[in-house]
Amino acid sequence: MTDRDPIAAARAQWISHGWPDAADGMALVTSVVRAQQLLHERVEATLRPHGLTFARYEILRLLAFSRQRSMPMSRLGSLLQVHATSVTSAVARLETQGLVERLRRESDRRVVLASLTAAGEELVERATRDLNEQVFSSPGLDATQVRDATRLMSALRATHGDVVDDVTGA
Amino acid sequence: MTDRDPIAAARAQWISHGWPDAADGMALVTSVVRAQQLLHERVEATLRPHGLTFARYEILRLLAFSRQRSMPMSRLGSLLQVHATSVTSAVARLETQGLVERLRRESDRRVVLASLTAAGEELVERATRDLNEQVFSSPGLDATQVRDATRLMSALRATHGDVVDDVTGA
DNA sequence: GGGAGATTGTAGGACGTCCTAGGAATGGCG
DNA sequence: CGCCATTCCTAGGACGTCCTACAATCTCCC
């Protein structure tokens, strides 16, 4: 006996308990949480054979895009929108794996530069190829839906203070 | 000096590095992850004064909806789509807080029933009221966008194997 | 110079999630 | 009747996230 959609069921409960004005918002929040969970699982499964998690992959990816193959810890945190201590622990693991090394900037010795090693550079390219093939090129919606959904998520981000380009939707 | 939208920037990098077919999918995944993070932060901020997290709130909410005010651990896990061990640790904390108690079902002594206490029942109603007022009734999109976004997230869930009602969109 | 205040990063702790392993209770099958 | 596969739950560990300190370093201004 298969259960019904838990989110649709929760929405019905919300209405029958006298919270109709909040029911759609509840369903939206719950749907986004669940969609993120499913996408995250696919991404993690793809990265696992490479010994990476998404958090660590994102750091390698940013470093590989940068000119110097290195970046201050604080800049990683602000670009990835995570707490500084999360960056510290992720970079510590990447350093243990030999994918990144820490350098202290001479002109300002407070700054720690996370710098990609040759091994890190090779790994991030292989991992990116797999992610593109196994997740990003077929995320589970058709091209129109992908564009619409991305635009709606951007609008949501914008109302929460994120800097967002292109909400108007050309 | 404000940075540009990190997701739009990543999408541009994807295209210029020769991965145009994956760029939109990457942007979608990243947008969903970020939107979830923002909504999750608002929800957690609302629940914190009540001494709850979203994970524990969801358990209390399900129990309060159920007839007996109780439910097997395994059912909580399947409804919430989380690992059984996550349920164990959340219920353990709720028990410490005096919001839930564990009962063993007599007819099948393998089953542990998580059962709402009077304190838990009161708390979940107060927490729900705050969530409805502070998050769910104004999730950050207008009514049309909320409906569209929920429908797209449902389609995404459906392609990943979730049981989903109402994808067709009346 | 030299101290006050900012900025940058790390340490330690709480919590949630997953995984693997394993202990109890049930139910079926020889 | 008794053994075993299944089901249900918990224990312990890895990882990511946040928070509150705190240490090191830089900057500014007296």
Q: Give the domain CATH number at B80.
A: 1.10.10.10
Same domain, A85 and A148: yes
> CA B13 to CA B35: how far, in whole Å?
21
Task: Report pLDDT for B4.
Answer: 81
Taking C1' of C16 and every protein CA, the nearest residue is B86
- The answer to whether A81 and A42 are in contact (CB under 8 A) is no
Looking at the structure, do residues A63 and A81 belong to the same domain, yes or no? yes
Which distant-in-sequence residues (6+ apart) come within 8 Å of A75 by Cβ?
none
Establish if B140 belongs to a structural domain.
yes
Residues B126, B77, B139, B11, CA torsion sign: positive
- Band (pLDDT 50/70/90 cuts) for residue A170 is very low
The span from the CA of A2 to the CA of A170, in Å, is: 42
- One domain, residues A111 and A43: no
For residues A133 and A90, membership in a common domain is answered with yes
Q: B49-69 pLDDT, tens per residue?
A: 999 999 999 999 999 999 889
- The reply to whether A109 and A61 lie within a common domain is yes
* Any domain includes A116: yes
- Output the pLDDT for position B39: 95
Residues A45 and A6 in one domain: yes
Q: Assess if residue A109 is contained within a domain.
A: yes
- Residues A103, A70 share a domain: yes
Helix or strand (DSSP H, E) at B103: strand B100-104
pLDDT score of B170: 44
User: Does B60 fall in a domain?
Assistant: yes
Q: How confident is the model at residue B167 (pLDDT cuts 50, 70, 90)?
A: low
Q: Is residue B108 part of a domain?
A: yes
Quote the CA–CA distance of B161 and B76 in Å, as a whole number: 19
Q: Is the same domain home to A8 and A19?
A: yes
Encode burial over A19-44: b for 16+ CB neighbours within 10 A, e otherwise. beebbbbbbbbbbbbbbbbbbbebbe
Segment B112-140 shows an average pLDDT of 95
Determine the nucleotide nearest to B109 by Cα–C1' distance. Answer: C25
Amino acid B168: pLDDT: 54
Residue B9: which of A62, A63, A138 has the closest Cα? A62
pTM exceeding 0.85: yes
Shared domain for A80 and A138, answered yes or no, is yes
Q: Using the structure, give the distance in angstroms from the CA atom of B93 to the C1' atom of D13, rounded to a whole number.
A: 19
Structural domain count of chain A: 2
- Domain of residue A140 covers 52-159
What pLDDT does residue A168 have?
Answer: 53
Calpha distance A145→A143 (Å, rounded)? 5
The band of A123, judged by pLDDT with boundaries at 50, 70 and 90, is very high
- The band of B2, judged by pLDDT with boundaries at 50, 70 and 90, is low
A68 and A28 together in one domain: no
Cα separation of A93 and A1, whole Å?
Answer: 44
The predicted model gives B40-46 an average pLDDT of 94
Q: Which of B82, B108, B136 is nearest to A17 (CA)?
A: B136
Within a domain: A166: no
Could you tell me if residue B40 is inside a domain? Answer: no
pLDDT exceeds 80 at position B120: yes
Do residues A95 and A110 share a domain? yes
Question: Would you state the structure tokens that stand for residue A81, as one six-digit string?
Answer: 């929108």
- The pLDDT tens digits of the residues spanning A31-85 come to 999 999 999 999 999 999 999 999 999 999 999 999 999 999 999 999 999 999 9
Chain A residues 93 to 122 with C-beta below 7 Å from nucleic strand C:
102, 110-113
- State chain A's mean pLDDT as an integer: 93
> Quick one: A30 and A72 in the same domain?
no
Q: Is residue A153 part of a domain?
A: yes
Residues 49-108 of B with CB under 8 A from A: 65, 78-81
